[in-house]
Amino acid sequence: MRQHSHPDFHLHEARRAMLLRWAQMAQWFGLVMILLTIGLAALGDSLDDPTGTSIITLCGVLGLAALIPARMVLAHYQKQDERDGRP
């Protein structure tokens, strides 16, 4: 096992784990919201109603707003792990 001499190493790893956990939860939330948007648009008759269109648009925007930053964080840490030689 490697010993790390930096005093804030464990704090950095705890923050990293918390950020990765957030990114994974945000990724799943974004996917669910996009699937909900597709389902509402495909199966609902709410496209004729302006309120229904607003709800569908809001669900899609929330899904993308959660999914894009989550994927960026996960991709960044994956590249960092590959560079450091972590599994």
What is the predicted pLDDT for the residue at 84?
79
Q: Which of 22-26, 73-77, 82-86 has the lowest mean pLDDT?
A: 82-86
What is the tens place of the pLDDT at every residue in 12-66?
A: 677 778 889 999 999 999 999 999 999 988 888 777 888 888 989 999 999 999 9
pTM as predicted? 0.75
**3-state SS, one letter per residue, for 30-75:** HHHHHHHHHHHHHHCCCCCCHHHHHHHHHHHHHHHHHHHHHHHHHH
The whole-angstrom separation of Cα 29 and Cα 85 is 30
Of residues 87 and 28, more confidence is placed in: 28
- pLDDT (0 to 100) of residue 61: 96
